[in-house]
Amino acid sequence: MADTVFSKIIARTIPARIEYEDDLCMAFHDVSPQAPVHVLLIPKQPIRSLAAVQEADSPLMGHLIVVATQLALRLGLENGYRVVINCGCDGGQSVDHLHVHLLGGRSLAWPPG
């Protein structure tokens, strides 16, 4: 997989406002937030998109959701939040590295886009 802005954030060659990090993933604030709280969670393992996830990635995917839930509580999103994974160009994915959006801090409309 080619270098992406996310792989460069993991490597610390591009700065980010990191909210969480462990051996499997990293979470940081989006530079173009779409809500008062907009954090991106990325696996450190390079996975191109949700469409590329394999059965063996199940523990990692579950970990991302657990971390998103913990971050939502830590960031004061008790009234609710949205977790989004865009997949592919038509799905709105702009970086070819799987990432989970955690959005909250205001009422979020539906449909989203």
pLDDT in tens, 41-92: 999 999 999 999 999 999 999 999 999 999 999 999 999 999 999 999 999 9
The reply to whether 109 falls in a domain is: no
Is 101 one of the catalytic residues? no
Is 62 within the bounds of a domain? yes
Kindly state whether residue 51 falls inside one of the protein's structural domains: yes
Is residue 44 one of the residues assigned to a domain?
yes
With CA atoms as reference, report the closest residue to 38 among 70, 2, 93, 84: 84
- Asked if residue 112 is part of any domain, the answer here is no
> Domain range spanning residue 45?
5-104
pLDDT tens digit string along 11-36?
999 999 999 999 999 999 999 999 99
- pTM to 2 decimals? 0.94
Res. 7 pLDDT band, cuts 50 70 90: very high
CATH code at position 46: 3.30.428.10
* Amino acid 111: pLDDT: 85
What pLDDT is attached to residue 34?
95
Phi, psi of 108 (to 5 degrees): -105, 125
The C-alpha atoms of residue 102 and residue 29 are separated, in whole angstroms, by: 9
Contact 93, 86 (CB under 8 A): yes
**Looking at the 3D structure of the chain, how many domains does it have?**
1
| Catalytic pick among 38, 63, 99, 101 | 99
In this structure, is residue 110 part of a structural domain?
Answer: no
